[in-house]
Structures are given as structure tokens and as C-alpha cells.
Amino acid sequence: MYNTTTKYRERVAAVSKFAGDLSKTYTYKDYQTWPDTPQMELIEGVPHAMTPAPSRLHQKIVVELIRQISTYLQGKECEVYPAPFDVRLAEPDTSDEAVYNVVQPDISVICDPAKLDDKGCKGAPDLVMEIVSPSTVTIDYIKKLSLYERYSVREYWTIHPIDKIIMVYKLTEQGSYGRPDTYPIEDNIQVGIFDDLTISLAAIFKI
């Protein structure tokens, strides 16, 4: 049976073909020389193949979230971007040769215009949302969770299309993520980084 896992392994093999030795670490400078297909992310210098083309449900959720957020942000300084959109998690003055983390969140909200350039975002977004699939659970809940916490992403959402549950991690005053808030499909969510933006889960999951 040709399933998602098989496709994912093929994309990992493709990463190896273009990146070369996967036992070494790579930087954003290397990353820029690789072809756009397959799409890849760098986490601690290690290339990771992104999953095959997202499901229709995944894309519907992204479109609805973008719609709600972008409508709210009209006339405001913050901006919202869907993937593919390179987020380089590094300090502003870090050279390309020293950037080891490049991710493409499903949705990124950035409120500091100084972090934006023609390549994407350099620095931590204020809000990141990831649509979780079976092949990305480890990345989203271990590697990216740790990465977003370390670089002080203020709010991190994980959205489960099948279970219809959203988990929200918020950065504490101590600089770490506390226990996540979990929301079922019946709830609406007050976005923590804004005073008056509420996301309708009914619209997202199309009750």
C-alpha cells in the first residue's frame, strides 16, 4: 500500500540526495542552494523533509484561519503569512552561515516589521500555528515545540484536523511554555497576543 509514510520516506531520501551527508549540519546558506522540491526545513542544522502535498482538509483549515486573522489585522501593524514562508530562527545580526533553524509554519503572525524581509522572517514570530498530521507529530510536539520555546514565540497552536482539538501553548514570564490549554470543537479561542481576536472553531471545522 502506498501511504503517507511511504511518501514521507521518499521525501527524506530526496533530501539526502540534495543535501548530501545527513550526518553533518547545514546552515541557511546551504538551504538556499537546494531546489524548492521537495520542501525542507532545517532544525538544529539537520534537514527535514516536509510532508507531501497537504490534504484538502488541512488547506481548508489554513484558509479559514488566515481569513479570520487577516480580517482582524486590517489596518494593524501585524501581518499573517501561510506556508511556504521561511522563518529563520536567529538573532537579527546572525549571518546566513550561522543560521541553523529554518522552519515553515503553516501560519505565522509577525508584529515587528523589522523581522520581515524579502526572504521571509528573521526572528521569532509572535504567533505560530501548525496543522498536525500523523507524519509530523514528532516534529510538531518535540522538535518545533522546543525550538519555538527557545526562540520565544509568544504563542504556539497545534491544530488536530481529525480529533478536532486545538492545543495552545503560551510563553510564561519565565520564558517557557506552560501547560497547554486544550479546546474542543464547541469552543471559541481568545488569541493571547491580541486583546480582542476570537477564533471561531465552528468555522474552522465546519460543524
192 within some domain = yes
Tell me the average pLDDT across 77-84: 96
- Report the number of distinct structural domains present in the chain: 1
Q: Is the pLDDT of residue 136 over 90?
A: no
2 within some domain = no
168 within some domain = yes
Model confidence at 97, pLDDT cuts 50, 70, 90, reads very high
pLDDT, one tens digit per residue, over 142-173 is: 899 999 999 999 999 999 988 888 999 999 99
pLDDT, one tens digit per residue, over 107-128 is: 999 999 999 999 999 999 999 9
Tell me the average pLDDT across 71-92: 96
120 within some domain = yes
The neighbour count for residue 129, using CB atoms within 10 Å, is 25
98 within some domain = no
* Alpha carbon separation from 78 to 72, 73, 108, 111, 124 (Å, rounded): 10, 6, 10, 4, 13
CATH of the domain at 195: 3.90.1570.10
186 within some domain = yes
16 within some domain = no
pLDDT, one tens digit per residue, over 2-55 is: 344 555 455 556 555 655 565 678 999 999 988 776 788 999 998 888 776 778
Local structure of 51: helix, strand or coil? coil
Domain carrying residue 189: 56-83+103-205
Question: Could you identify the residue written with the cell 482539538?
Answer: 165
